[in-house]
Structure 1
């Protein structure tokens, strides 16, 4: 279970890392202790994982690029925002890309063997639900329960939408679409990644459908 704590920029996160740096006392660094013995004072130095750094910025850069907690956000620039959450199962903090878009509507074109033409199916991704609808009156919604289980409003769900058009689809089609929705909802996919991956899924389905032998109903 993830409990959202706050939204923060990468720059602000790095400032907090700097504030939390440990500093080496002379007795922890033999070279510093020896120098001080001869009257030369170098001051305390930041250190991480028993490594001494000349500057705070170097120590921050090392921490940000080596700590696994930041592995999903290391490629973001300093102005990017991230969601900081607490994972009570793992007892650790985690970070994900912040997405301030609460609704995404993506239209996809499918080849229909029934009409020998193209049809449009709309995927509406929202915080509370996923909605899939076609050009007729068919519409199916999927919601996330408090238990973490996903529930569709109809047992047959989107399979019926494809079957009535003669479109081939993978048997785990619902899980594939749910996975795209949940990963976007949980800030694991950006809008661009969501659209790219949905395009790839549709292209795969269309390729299967268009190469289906005529004797297969």
Structure 2
């Protein structure tokens, strides 16, 4: 059993939306943007084990600075889907709400000559 959710996330670095693909399976969740990937493997009675790149770093590379809890939010949605609390369509909707939130944060970053050097 698996499902794939494609998220449109605005990239200030490129000035366009990029597609972040989230693949949910019972044994793992992979979040990818192009060739960059972060994978969480299910470990019974433990927190998921992450490998590959860090979600924050993948997004930061594109000028996206999501809230620090972003990895936890992806995990929470995956666990709910995995446990049958969310259907494929419901997890799609919930993850797209997270993408919308990230886009709001990104599009409302501080905008001044001082901060534009950083962002």
Query: Are 1:113 and 2:12 counterparts?
Result: yes
Alignment partner for residue 57 of structure 2, among 160, 180, 185?
A: 160
Structure having the higher Rg: 1
Match of 1:130 in 2: 29
Q: How does 1:47-196 map to 2 (within 5 A)?
A: 102-135=1-34, 137-154=35-52, 157-196=54-93
Contact 2:56 2:65 in 1 (8 A): no
Partner Cα separation in structure 1 for residue 87 and residue 28 of structure 2: 17
Moved over 6 A (4+): none
How far residue 168 of structure 1 moved from its aligned partner, in angstroms, is 2.1
Q: Tell which has more relative contact order, 1 or 2 (C-alpha 8 A, sep 6+).
A: 2
What are structure 2's unaligned runs of at least 5 residues? Answer: none
What are structure 1's unaligned runs of at least 5 residues? Answer: 1-101
Q: Kindly tell me the number of residue pairs found equivalent between the two proteins.
A: 114
Q: Deviations over 1:66-109 (max 9, x none)?
A: xxxxxxxxxxxxxxxxxxxxxxxxxxxxxxxxxxxx11011111
Taking structure 1 as the reference length, the TM-score comes to 0.50
